[in-house]
Amino acid sequence: MSNTKDSCSFNQTTDKDQQWIDIETPYSHFKMTLFGAHITQFINKADGKDRLFVSKNARLDGSKSIRGGIPICWPWFGDHTDPDMPAHGYVRTLQWTLTKHTINTDSSVTLWLSPESSKELTTAKGYNPELAVELVITVGEQLVVELITTNNGTKAQVYTAALHSYFAVNDIKQTELMGLYGEYKDKCQGFTLHDTPMPYTFSAETDRVHLCTTEKIMIEESDADTFVYSSGHDSIVVWNPWQEKSESMADMEDTSYQHMVCVETAVTQGHTLAPGESHHLTQIIK
């Protein structure tokens, strides 16, 4: 399926493993797969830089969540208390459906996606029939990713989630994050609390839950900076596996940690939804 209007193009294609959506707008190139509703590319035409990192060893055959891009962690973030449950929830490995798309008058394209008709959904480990999820993505001058969670049940529901974005950087040792403040929980040091470093640079494995609701983060690079805007979150997670951990990960090249940093717009503390209520978790990338 393909159509073009107002200099935007929308194409849906299928290869042997995946169904892909490619979008071109006057400002950007975008690519995603319906497996996990996983965005894998967002190139800003102004500087030609893909804002997203995808590991060259990422599995693209649907057997595992893709290492890179924007995995959707929902309805829990991180490890579940039950070790039998998958880390980061169950929707990042489900097939999603594109329920609608529009080409907008401002030369952007909006997509609505849901895992509702996935045949694996109701049998997924940890499946919560009371909670529904929808992803709304707008591609234009910026990339807007909005995860909408709705409580369709009759009692309160608590959920956690993350838009687990892997950003491409030229050299992690030259990268600086601007905009984080306050305390973070350090997963590399038994979840102890520490003050956010200033300047925020990288020299070792980093796995931090920043308990702050900062709305704007800049990933400063020598060529093109990346801006990450967040809303609906209670935390920002920053992750880089560094050398040793990358070596132990089959879907990560040993040294490609040098070219990525995850800055995740997240709900880690638990958001309570009353019956009928919805919550929006949004990340905007520029």
To the nearest whole angstrom, how small is the minimum distance from the Cβ of residue 241 to ligand BG6? Answer: 7
Give 68's strand partners. Answer: 54
Count of all residues that appear for the chain in the document = 286
237 binds ligand BG6 (CB under 6 A): yes
With respect to ligand BG6, which residue has the nearer C-beta, 134 or 264?
A: 264
**Both tokens of residue 28?**
């950007």
Near ligand BG6 by CB under 6 A: residue from 53, 167, 202, 239: 239
Distances (CA, A) of 158 to 75, 161, 174, 277: 9, 10, 39, 11
Size of the site for ligand BG6 (CB under 6 A): 10
Q: According to CB under 6 A, which one of 31, 88, 233, 271 is a site residue for ligand BG6?
A: 88
Which CB atom, from 36 or from 179, has the smaller least distance to ligand BG6?
36
Among 24, 134, 146, 207, binds ligand BG6 (CB under 6 A): 207
Looking only at residues 43 through 82 of this chain, which bind ligand BG6 when binding is defined by CB under 6 A?
Answer: 65, 78
Q: How far apart are CA 6 and CA 87, in angstroms?
A: 41
B/e letters for 84-114, b = 16+ CB within 10 Å, e = fewer, are eeeebbbbbbbbbebeebebeeebbbbbbbb
Q: Which is nearer to ligand BG6, 88 or 271 (CB)?
A: 88
Taking the complex as a whole, the smallest distance from the CB of residue 163 to ligand BG6 amounts, in Å, to 11
Tell me which residue of 57, 56, 54, 85 sits closest to 71, measured CA to CA: 54
Per DSSP, which regions of 51-205 are E strands? 72-73, 97-103, 109-114, 131-139, 143-151, 157-163, 166-168, 176-178, 183-186, 192-195
The tokens describing 151, both together, are: 């409580």
Q: Please list the alpha-helical segments (H only) found in 87-235.
A: none
Question: Exactly one of 187, 259, 279, 286 binds ligand BG6 (CB under 6 A); which one?
Answer: 187
> Which of 237, 281 has the CB closer to ligand BG6?
237
Q: Which is nearer to ligand BG6, 98 or 237 (CB)?
A: 237
Taking residue 278's Cβ as centre, other Cβ atoms within 10 Å add up to: 12
- Which of 38, 164, 233, 271 forms a contact with ligand BG6 (CB under 6 A)? 164
Report angle CA 198, 202, 207 to the nearest 5 degrees. 95
Judged by CB, which is closer to ligand BG6: 113, or 209? 209
- The least distance separating ligand BG6 from the CB of residue 208, rounded to whole angstroms, comes to 8
- Smallest gap from residue 24 Cβ to ligand BG6 (A): 29
Q: Which is nearer to ligand BG6, 1 or 250 (CB)?
A: 250
* Residues 254-273, interacting with ligand BG6 (CB under 6 A): 264
Per CB under 6 A, residues contacting ligand BG6 are: 65, 78, 87-88, 164, 187, 207, 237, 239, 264
